[in-house]
Amino acid sequence: MERVRMSQEQIAEAINKLKRNGILDNQVLELVKTDYQYGLITEEIELYLDRKFEFGQKQMISKALREYGTDLAKAIAREDMDEQAMAIAIEYYGQGVPVETIVESMEEQYSAYSLRQIYKEVLAEIRETEAEINEDEEDEAGVDREFVEQMIGEMKAIALTIKQDSKRYDALSDKLQEISVSKKAEAELEKQKADAERLQKEVERLQGEIATLNITNSNLRKMLDDKESEIEQMEKKLQEKSEEQTKTQVTYMTGYPVYPQGVMGHPQGMVYMEKAKPKKNSLAALFGKSDTRKTGKQDITKLVASGQLSTQQLMQVKVAISRGLTDEQLCDLIQGNVSAEQMKEIIEIAVLENSIR
């Protein structure tokens, strides 16, 4: 199709229009400009402008438009196909792989490596069939050439499909049965049957790989869901901890009126709070001098969940539990209001003390 190349003024106006429509990426604008200069029209260029393609994908669609036209460009213009897969499709379309085969393989979303292997096999099928047609033209003067070529063409079309089901091979077998005009045709029949069996085994192998990939994808999806659930729980705990810390940020003295932070002059009046009782020395408690109160796993869990400990302190509590500290020792450690580094040393002392009791 002959085309009239746009003038520089027309190209500049088209580029300015794209800018007014929000397309400001200089790389994309330069690609559009060179496509216009090459002779592409707006409808073709819009194949990669209307969707959210990466720049590399846009380049591949532009390459397909320039070299092979809109049929191939439309076949590969898919957001779920990466740049490498598009490049493989363009390469093998140029070598003779039909656009129908490319469209079907794109639907299956194979990797670039898998696409290359599939297209190699398709090309091999095409060239082998074409060679057989040429050979028949030389050696089979007495055979109905139009009929044989029609049958081989139909077999070729069937072999090029990538759908993985038994109907493909049933159809191939039916076509092969129709070729019985000579002994050479019978030999061809056996050869095609063998090819069909080979292709069926290959399809079964590919189906197995796909099944394995599906299982892997399912497992990865489950792991992702679990991680998202863990993140939600952690965010919830952090929120609760933040709210608890906000509530407790009040300094007070016994007998003097004080106000919670941020409510000075509150209409409800003054707030009186008892002075906290001093805690016993945590280090002394770890050496067996704690009071005789009874504590349990549930009490310790409540203390840890109160939100007063930092992440490093929580890690030291976990170490203390694994090192066998008693419930009383754990309780004093948590309430001792010491740093994570001090906790670490206290745990070692407690473990030593417990070992010599």
pLDDT at 129 over 90: no
pLDDT confidence band for 323 (50 / 70 / 90): very high
Scanning 97-182, the segments in alpha helix (DSSP H) are: 99-108, 112-139, 145-160, 167-178
| Res. 68: pLDDT tops 90 | yes
| % of the chain exceeding 90 in pLDDT | 35
- Tell me the two tokens of residue 12: 């500049």
- Return the C-alpha torsion angle 168, 174, 180, 184, nearest 10: 10
Nearest to 123 by CA among 90, 172, 83, 159: 159
Dihedral sign for Cα atoms in the order 90, 91, 92, 95: positive
Q: Which of 29-38, 181-190, 247-256, 319-328 has the lowest mean pLDDT?
A: 247-256
Over residues 122-143, mean pLDDT: 68
CA distance 273 to 324: 38
Residue scoring higher pLDDT (281 or 92):
92
Mean pLDDT (whole number) for 304-331: 90
Region of poorest pLDDT, from 25-39, 162-176, 198-212: 162-176
For residue 302, what pLDDT is reported?
81
Q: What is the mean pLDDT of residues 294-322?
A: 82
Average pLDDT, integer, range 327-336: 90
24: phi then psi, degrees, rounded to nearest 5 = -120, -5
Segment 57-80 mean pLDDT: 94
Of 82-86, 108-112, 224-228, the one with minimum mean pLDDT is: 108-112
How many CA atoms, within 13 angstroms, populate the side-chain half-sphere of residue 3? 14
Strand partners, 258: 271
* Residue among 25, 68, 75 at smallest CA distance from 47: 75
- One-letter amino acid identity for 252? Y
Beta pairing partners, 53: none
Average pLDDT taken over every residue of the chain: 77
Which contacts qualify for 260-268: CB closer than 8 Å, 24 or more apart? none
What span, in angstroms and rounded, lies between the C-alpha atoms of 292 and 315?
Answer: 26
Query: Where residue 74 falls among pLDDT bands split at 50, 70, 90?
Result: very high
Tokens of 138: 């030389």
Reading the block at residue 202, the tokens are: 């290959």
Please give the Cα distance from 305 to 238 (Å, whole number).
Answer: 11
Closest CA to 123 of 174, 88, 175: 88
Flag whether pLDDT at 143 surpasses 60: no
